[in-house]
């Protein structure tokens, strides 16, 4: 919520590319709009935990393989 210089990162674009899945497809599988996927990929805002799990499910990986919260840049 707070910690300076801790960053949420995500590997959605990479995982999508590996699976040749478009943003539209991922959005549909995760049950959200394409805008939502774009905004999360591009870090416009951070998803809810629920959506984070849905995205991981849609990509068929663990949530920790998609998102990380770590120090530094």
State the residues that interact with a second copy by CB under 8 A: 1-3, 8, 30-32, 46-54, 57, 62-64, 67, 69
What is the C-alpha separation between 21 and 62, in angstroms, rounded? 17
Closer residue to DNA in complex, CB, 42/70: 42
Beta carbon of residue 15, minimum distance to DNA (angstroms, whole number): 12
CA dihedral 32, 64, 71, 39 (to 10 degrees): -10
Closer residue to DNA in complex, CB, 31/60: 31
Binding partner of 53, given DNA, a second copy, none, CB within 5-8 angstroms per partner class: a second copy
Q: How many CB atoms lie within 10 A of CB 66?
A: 22
Q: How many CB atoms lie within 10 A of CB 8?
A: 14
Beta carbon of residue 12, minimum distance to DNA (angstroms, whole number): 9
């Amino acid at each position: 919520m707070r910690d300076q210089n801790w960053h949420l990162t995500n590997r959605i674009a990479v995982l999508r590319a590996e699976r040749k899945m478009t943003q539209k497809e991922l959005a549909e599988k995760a049950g959200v709009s394409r805008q939502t996927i774009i905004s999360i990929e591009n870090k416009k805002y951070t998803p809810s935990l629920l959506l984070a799990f849905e995205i991981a499910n849609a990509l068929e990986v663990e949530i920790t393989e998609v998102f990380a919260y770590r120090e530094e840049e």
